[in-house]
Homo-oligomer: A and B are copies of this chain.
Amino acid sequence: MASSSSLTTLSQAALFSPSLPRHASTSSSPSLSFPTFSGLKSTTFTTTHRRASPCSATISKQQTSVQASATVETLDKTDAVLVEKSVNTIRFLAIDAVEKANSGHPGLPMGCAPMGHILYDEVMKYNPKNPYWFNRDRFVLSAGHGCMLQYALLHLAGYDSVQEEDLKSFRQWGSKTPGHPENFETPGVEVTTGPLGQGIANAVGLALAEKHLAARFNKPDTEIVDHYTYVILGDGCQMEGISQEACSLAGHWGLGKLIAFYDDNHISIDGDTEIAFTEDVGARFEALGWHVIWVKNGNTGYDEIRAAIKEAKSVKDKPTMIKVTTTIGFGSPNKANSYSVHGSALGAKEVEATRNNLGWPYEPFHLPEDVKSHWSRHAAEGAAFETEWNAKFAEYEKKYPVEAAELKSIFTGELPAGWEKALPTYTPESAADATRNLSQQNLNALAKVLPGFLGGSADLASSNMTLLKMFGDFQKNTPEERNLRFGVREHGMGAICNGIALHSPGFIPYCATFFVFTDYMRGAMRISALSEAGVIYVMTHDSIGLGEDGPTHQPIEHLASFRAMPNILMFRPADGNETAGAYKVAVLRRKTPSILALSRQKLPQLAGTSIEGTAKGGYIVSDNSSGNKPDVILIGTGSELEIAVKAADELRKEGKAVRVVSFVCWELFDEQPADYKESVLPESVTARVSIEAASTFGWQKIVGDKGKAIGIDGFGASAPAGKIYKEFGITAEAVVAAAKEVS
């Protein structure tokens, strides 16, 4: 136990938490006024009788372990009892919710309740009544299956999103407490976790966002951006490659305000981690440039945890990994420290045994009055934090109007008026170019007008054409810059961008690799889609058109695979106007990620393409028919739209009435009203031919039973692009022949 006897009047809160004094735990209805934005500079309330005491432990850096220390204040006995009670409240809320649902994961919340309590009650700076307050500390539960920990903490802290009835409807239809944390369901949850390793990588993105904004906007007289990012991750997250990728970058970037708690409980689903996970995690993180601390008693060593956080905060040039050794299912006499407590309800008998063991006399879901009262201060305190910050920002705005406007755009998500005028436009006379190059023109145009626009590539910047020419590299010592260098770490890159996007609504991160390597980052891309993170995926080398690198590098099924994924826009622009159109939509759709599949090879600027057409997903590029009755409709995307156009020219020479349709984004076309769709693809015209240098899977929906889809349903080949196109029959001749066959 962490309690200590000697008393002082020093507030413990002042040690672990932000500048504002914390309101006393005994005060259930503080009579304070909270001025709104642009109000006073400091709050009007004062510290009350919270007591803490120094004790006698030391931080043993040599052993990278921490014990309660003379440098750390501890609570007096009464407070310690209350902390323990609060921690058990968290444990039992988790136990009871899982028991009622008869589904869920009680083990992690029971083991991690102490660190959870300390973070939300003593350390973190947040406003429960405005979960979106910009300068809040961010918390990510990377081990998302333990979500009852977070729901219990949000509930105690006073978030409106998690009421008692929400806890009681854990994992039920329509509840705010789904089986894994979902930011789009539960305000207070920053990112969507569950798929392991994503959360820690999101946290790297959140910490990067903070470091970037702080460097850009803080002034010698005003620290307007200043928060920590905390994360709890488990053995599963540690084993996933994505976490290694993201943590290697976090070390490289020196993200000193990222503090990760590794719940070292030695149990994974298949049993003891000894069976598959025996690496020295601490040594690995030291090799990655992290500061590493080991808390040996995570179950009851409150002061060790507190000291570790203090130490972590003192290390400003490195992220910190606090390895906290815990017992999964702590408190359960028969199931603790075993797999059985990981992912199933304890069962009535074991719940009873756990109640007895931890001395918990209450009925399910009970919140003891003193615990409730203790936590009740966070509403007032959080409002005060925001108020103070708002006042600070008002001052900042007066002194630094330009910077304030940029920062405001980032934290409100309001795009600067007229930003879209920056988008380049093209005519058929403009030079032929690869869409990857046209993309770069757009990226550079947008970065000038959008304050939250930043991104980079997974070591392919010079191939993906993603460098922002007016900015330098975001690096440890130049975090104000906007070119991110992800190295060859696609999965980490995607998840880091999710973190950036969800940090503030005005962040518009983009990231890039070869289109085929979306296979490496699909886990993160799906979470962009699910969690409504409007990341822009710049995916070049989008077909056999990349040529000699061969089938390992040539996407075939990737377009289809993303067209099937919900809430993601799959663009395949044909030229400059369509590339600009894709970017316009991508920037506007902040809750839907976009993928741009771009060519390596040069493409002509086509007549009839437009930004407006692109926004409709499918539109007529050229047509010599009348009465909405063409003889045949030729449909192309990306680099094959040119082929469709050429085939149409041929057919028209032979007297045919031919419509050419660009199908640049299927999802946008699906959103159009029926009459628009009919105007592009009239039901009566069944003579349709599509051409796309990719799998034909899914094209039947567009070309219909009587149409024909030209594509590639096997793997590609290594050869010059022109040769492969010819050998695979992706040619105007093939389109002409098919058109004659179907019409």
A→B interface (CB under 8 Å): 101, 103-104, 144, 171-175, 178-180, 182, 192-197, 235-237, 239-245, 248-249, 251-252, 268-270, 273, 275-284, 286-289, 339, 457, 459-463, 473, 475, 485-492, 516-517, 519-520, 522-523, 526-527, 529-530, 547-553, 556-557, 560-561, 563-567, 695, 697-698, 700-701, 704-705, 713-715, 717-720, 723-724, 727
Contacts and interface: CB of A to CB of B under 8 A. Distances in A.
A549 B269 CA distance: 15
Given A103-B547, A564-B557, A704-B705, A180 B718 contact: yes
Given A180-B549, A268-B459, A519-B522, A252 B239 contact: no
Number of copies of this chain that the complex holds: 2
A149 B561 CA distance: 35
A284 B287 CA distance: 5
Nearest to A276: B487
B249 A723 contact: no
B249 A240 contact: no
A557 B553 contact: no
Contact of A248 (B279, B526, B701): B279
Contacts of A174: 719
A557 B568 CA distance: 12
Contacts of A561: 557, 560-561, 564-565
B485 A566 contact: no
29 contacts: A171-B550, A173-B718, A173-B719, A173-B723, A173-B724, A179-B550, A179-B718, A180-B553, A182-B552, A182-B718, A193-B552, A194-B553, A195-B520, A237-B488, A251-B278, A273-B487, A275-B473, A278-B289, A287-B287, A491-B520, A519-B522, A520-B522, A522-B522, A530-B552, A530-B715, A557-B564, A698-B698, A698-B700, A700-B700
B287 A279 contact: yes
Given A180-B550, A549-B194, A550-B194, A488 B564 contact: no
Contacts of A724: 173
A107 to B, nearest CB: 14
Given A171-B718, A248-B277, A530-B552, A698 B235 contact: no
Contacts of A179: 548-550, 553, 718
Given A173-B718, A697-B701, 10 more contacts: A173-B727, A180-B550, A195-B516, A236-B459, A240-B245, A241-B492, A252-B278, A519-B522, A557-B566, A566-B715
Contacts of A175: 718
Contacts of A462: 269-270, 339
A239 B487 contact: yes
Nearest to A549: B179
Contacts of A193: 552
A180 B516 CA distance: 14
Nearest to A719: B173
A485 B270 contact: yes
Contact of A459 (B270, B698, B719): B270
A551 B532 CA distance: 13
B239 A489 contact: yes
A560 B552 contact: no
B240 A276 contact: no
Contacts of A516: 195
Contacts of A182: 550-552, 718
Contact of A196 (B273, B279, B488): B488
Nearest to A101: B548
B459 A276 contact: yes
Nearest to A249: B276
Nearest to A282: B287
Contacts of A461: 269-270
A425 to B, nearest CB: 30
Contacts of A563: 697
Given A287-B279, A715-B566, A523 B530 contact: no
B564 A695 contact: yes
Contacts of A489: 239-241
Given A567-B714, A695-B564, A270 B551 contact: no
A527 B172 CA distance: 39
A550 B396 CA distance: 43
A252 B278 CA distance: 6
A287 B248 CA distance: 14
Contacts of A195: 516-517, 519-520, 552-553
A522 B523 CA distance: 9
A545 B547 CA distance: 42
B552 A557 contact: no
Contact of A269 (B104, B339, B460, B526): B460
Contacts of A560: 560-561, 564, 697-698
Contacts of A252: 276-279
Interface centre among A244, A252, A560 (most CB of B within 10 A): A244
A156 B235 CA distance: 47
Contacts of A553: 179-180, 194-195
Contacts of A276: 249, 252, 459, 485-487
A696 to B, nearest CB: 9
Nearest to A240: B488
B278 A284 contact: no
Contact of A552 (B180, B239, B268): B180
Contacts of A280: 287-289
A500 B692 CA distance: 36
Contacts of A715: 529-530, 566-567
Contacts of A517: 195, 523
Contacts of A488: 196-197, 235-237, 239-240, 268
Nearest to A560: B564
A719 B171 contact: yes
A511 to B, nearest CB: 13
Contact of A241 (B240, B286, B289, B529): B240
A717 B269 contact: no
A475 B278 CA distance: 12
